[in-house]
Chain A
Amino acid sequence: MRLKIRVKVKHLVSGIIGLGLLFGAGAMLMPSEANDFPAGTASPGMVKSELLRALDDPKPSEAKWKLIQTYVLGDGKDRLASGYRVYVGSNFTTSGGSSDGIERPALTWEEKLPSLRDYLDNGPAVGTYLSQAAMQLALYDGSSGEPDRAIEALETAERRNPAGQEGIVKQLRFEQVKLLMQQGEYSRAEASLDEIDREAGNYIDLDGDVKSAKLKAQILLHQGRPSEAQALVQQAISNYAVAYKKLMSQPGDAMSEKPAQLEPLETLRQYFAAMQSTSGSYAPASVSGTVLRSNGEAMARVAVFLRTEDAVNHSVLDTEPYQTMTDDQGRYTFTDVLPGSYQLTIGFDYDQIDGWSWPVGINEWIDVDPGSRMTIPVILRPLIKLNAPVNNVELAGPRIDFDWEPVEGAAYYKLNGNIQVENGTIGVEIRNHITGHAWSAPVDTLYNLASGYSFIEVDGKEVPDPVSLLGFANPGKRFSWYVEAFDEQGNKLSQSNGYRLTPDTMGELPFFTLHDRTLSEGDRLLLAYRDDDALKAYKRAWAANPADAYSLGMIIRLYHSRETSDRSARERLDEETVPYVLEMMKLRPEQQYSFWLMNQFISAKDWSGAEQYYELGLQLGKDGDLTYVQSVYAAALMTQGRFEEAKELLAAVMPAEKSHRFVGHLLAADLLVVGSIEHATDLAARYPERKSGETVTDWSRLLSDLSREAKDHGSSVYIKELKQAMQWQYAGDMSKLGQWLSQPGRPASKAFLAALANID
């Protein structure tokens, strides 16, 4: 039987239209991707206009609350330390997607506010949504000069929050305390903290304890009661140790708590210790400023962090004490700042940083003195536009011409190259101190640049990656480049590399290939991972043509790379390399070879050789940053007992060398020449050591211990003995030094000598 339907055209047409309407509506409501969202809510792929329309619906509904939860509250902006996409700081930049992996349409605060307020007043009190809404509003209102409104939001969330969520309530209270302190209402803040403590149950809350102790100590300091604050911090740290131990004995919970959360208290403890030893003032300071684009546009609602020395080497944490959001004028303020050294880190969303950079230099420290009011402006600059070579252009000529748009106020530029290798990229400084906005050179200048080496595994063996050894001398390989601009003082002004996310900001693609040369026999062997054969081939080529600087350079590079992989053979390899480097200095004298030779002569204690190549290196590299080499040479002068020269050189280098990693030698030289602990103490305070990533020596503290010990022993005799011990140590007279060290007592002297021995 064949089923048939008899239908008039008009009924068919109206039927189709009806069905179409039904499907269309269904499709609009239906999720466009498989996900965990309940039917009727929107999808992660929802576009902004759809979302705004749905949020604008005045009728409260389950679906609308779900939308707010996912798209407005779920964007993470209740926590400054994780709600932004890019964090730019002095020592590093971190970038990442949203914490839950959902990329949401970026809503402005103005677009979010109605939903936030609506949810706080009327939304369902499930999960942590109410507190998220309140925290976001508190941040916004707090940074908009409306702290009362911010506190009100927090109170509303606390009131509407269902019973049994003490943790959330506690967090809301802490935010209230911070806002009260911002307004200068310290007694109310104190009362609120006491209440939090009273209501705290018996459960362990390390985070809460640290926060509470830190805020109380801040209040006590503000009230001029530093000794009480210090006692409180000490007590809190020992309580923490007990609680942490207890927590670690309960498996499961332990992993979530990290001692990094103790940092705010550790900073306070160190601060008290430092204040005590130098009998300094306890007065808290303030740091404020404005975040602007160079065209004057205010950067509203970016996150600003003032980070302590302990904190700058890890990513931004929720527990860090000084964090805020800029207001609509781009302004930020931190009050109750403990005197000390800090760095700024700024949190941006993609649309805020796209096409711009904040040109903060490495080791840009903010030294906050007691009671001071500091203003630190933050200026974003547009990314430098690159003109040539770009867009994978194939260059076959004997010269290469780099060209970029000038930057206003730039005194010089630094041109950098990048070589993609298997395990990442290798950066190469092509040329520094370029005064114009272009640089032209014979292309073999690039071939002879020494790059770093990376290692790869071949047949289970770690070998230097031939691509990294060849560098730019690899025809057809794609290279990239970028420039940085600096002012006369060497402060970074701008850069060409950064976030280029839209067709407008993307600019030219900074890639090119070189086709001027063909691979030599040595190069081909190297690329085939036969580096022993390659070395022989390069040696043959150089023997055949003594003017072949490229092959000679590759011989040196191969020796250096072996040194990196086989440290035990370092001395032998160095000895083998020296004749080649000496030949290279005749053929193509360069700063890098000169300083390498200087180091060899220093190791061999051949002082006249060291001096010769030091002087030569200074001439060859007169435009570059020589502070490191000068410091190394100064250390060699110390070894020779030429303390006055060393002191003079180090004193000249110290202001420009911002990490002050060799300040210990300066202090030793100063003690040896001037002979006054007080004088050295002043220098230590002026040039605090700032090493990133490793432990830092607190020279001020070592000197204050020395000073105390000197008083106990009678200063002049004490210093005379210390000077004698230092001379033995620098001269390497280990038997006399060992004898002196084996005598009991003088821990401060011994600690100072040990710290000197560890400078590198």
Chain B
Amino acid sequence: MNGQDRQETMKSALDEELNPLRFGGRARVLERTHPRGWRGRLSAWWNKELVIPVVPVAAVVALLAGSLLVGRLRGMSEDGRPGPSANRVLVKEGENYYWQDEYEKAVASIETEDSR
């Protein structure tokens, strides 16, 4: 038996064994390799693999978390204005009592009006 014959024999044996199997996933494979439509594209993006360098990314995350913590510890809030219960200072100006922060805001608003 020469090499050609052996190949032929193997092929026919393989054909015989694989005969009941039919490949039906062509469409799905094509969809995955060459996605069409938003669903397909989204799914492809969703399953995309990223390679993330550990050191720089970990450093950035640590920095972010740290600054968040510090900000919280300093009692900063979104609008930069203390809440109704934060430690406020009462000041006496012109025989009136004001919360210092409200008073300073009022004075500042007079000054901006004046400079207009």
Stretch at the interface among B4-12, B15-23, B24-32, B91-99: B91-99
State whether the Cβ of B59 lies closer than 8 Å to any Cβ in chain A.
no
Convert B69-88 into 0s and 1s, putting 1 for each residue whose CB lies closer than 8 angstroms to a CB of A: 10011110000001111111
State whether the Cβ of B65 lies closer than 8 Å to any Cβ in chain A.
yes
Known A-B contacts A3-B53, A4-B54, A45-B83; the reply to A9 vs B45 at CB < 8 A is yes
CB neighbours (8 Å) of B99 from chain A are 501
State whether the Cβ of B38 lies closer than 8 Å to any Cβ in chain A.
no
A447 to B48, CA, bound (A): 83
The answer to whether B87 touches A45, judged by C-beta atoms less than 8 angstroms apart, is: yes
Instruction: Identify the closest chain B residue to A481 (Cβ).
Output: B94
In the assembled complex, how far is the CB of residue B20 from the closest CB belonging to chain A, in whole angstroms?
35
The answer to whether A8 touches B72, judged by C-beta atoms less than 8 angstroms apart, is: no
Chief secondary structure at chain B's binding surface: mixed
State whether the Cβ of B60 lies closer than 8 Å to any Cβ in chain A.
no
CB neighbours (8 Å) of A51 from chain B are 85
The answer to whether B95 touches A500, judged by C-beta atoms less than 8 angstroms apart, is: no
In the assembled complex, how far is the CB of residue A294 from the closest CB belonging to chain B, in whole angstroms?
20
Instruction: Identify the closest chain B residue to A46 (Cβ).
Output: B85
State whether the Cβ of A544 lies closer than 8 Å to any Cβ in chain B.
no
Convert A505-526 into 0s and 1s, putting 1 for each residue whose CB lies closer than 8 angstroms to a CB of B: 0100111000000000000000
Sample 8 A-B pairs with CB under 8 A, ordered by A number. A6-B50, A7-B52, A10-B47, A23-B65, A45-B85, A95-B90, A497-B94, A498-B96
Instruction: Identify the closest chain A residue to B64 (Cβ).
Output: A23
State whether the Cβ of A202 lies closer than 8 Å to any Cβ in chain B.
no
Convert B84-116 into 0s and 1s, putting 1 for each residue whose CB lies closer than 8 angstroms to a CB of A: 111110100111111100110011001001100
In the assembled complex, how far is the CB of residue B95 from the closest CB belonging to chain A, in whole angstroms?
4
Query: Which residue of B51, B68, B69, B107 is within 8 Å of A4 (Cβ)?
Result: B51
In the assembled complex, how far is the CB of residue A489 from the closest CB belonging to chain B, in whole angstroms?
25
State whether the Cβ of A418 lies closer than 8 Å to any Cβ in chain B.
yes
Known A-B contacts A3-B55, A9-B50, A392-B114; the reply to A95 vs B88 at CB < 8 A is no
Nearest 4 A/B pairs, CB to CB: A480-B94, A497-B95, A3-B54, A105-B85
State whether the Cβ of A609 lies closer than 8 Å to any Cβ in chain B.
no
Binding site for A on B (CB under 8 A): 45-55, 65, 68-69, 72-75, 82-88, 90, 93-99, 102-103, 106-107, 110, 113-114
In the assembled complex, how far is the CB of residue B71 from the closest CB belonging to chain A, in whole angstroms?
9
Known A-B contacts A8-B47, A480-B95, A510-B96; the reply to A34 vs B73 at CB < 8 A is yes
Of residues 470 to 508 in A, which have CB atoms within 8 Å of B's CB atoms? 480-482, 497-503, 506
Q: In this complex, which of A9, A27, A502, A503 has the most chain B Cβ atoms within 10 angstroms of its Cβ? A: A9
State whether the Cβ of A12 lies closer than 8 Å to any Cβ in chain B.
yes
In the assembled complex, how far is the CB of residue A478 from the closest CB belonging to chain B, in whole angstroms?
9
The answer to whether B95 touches A103, judged by C-beta atoms less than 8 angstroms apart, is: no
In the assembled complex, how far is the CB of residue A87 from the closest CB belonging to chain B, in whole angstroms?
14
A33 to B106, CA, bound (A): 27
The answer to whether A44 touches B98, judged by C-beta atoms less than 8 angstroms apart, is: no
In the assembled complex, how far is the CB of residue B28 from the closest CB belonging to chain A, in whole angstroms?
19
The answer to whether B46 touches A44, judged by C-beta atoms less than 8 angstroms apart, is: no
Q: In this complex, which of B97, B102, B103, B114 has the most chain A Cβ atoms within 10 angstroms of its Cβ? A: B97
CB neighbours (8 Å) of B73 from chain A are 32-34
Known A-B contacts A23-B68, A34-B73, A391-B110; the reply to A103 vs B46 at CB < 8 A is no
In the assembled complex, how far is the CB of residue A467 from the closest CB belonging to chain B, in whole angstroms?
16
In the assembled complex, how far is the CB of residue B85 from the closest CB belonging to chain A, in whole angstroms?
4
In the assembled complex, how far is the CB of residue A417 from the closest CB belonging to chain B, in whole angstroms?
10
The answer to whether B50 touches A7, judged by C-beta atoms less than 8 angstroms apart, is: yes
A30 to B65, CA, bound (A): 14
The answer to whether A97 touches B50, judged by C-beta atoms less than 8 angstroms apart, is: no
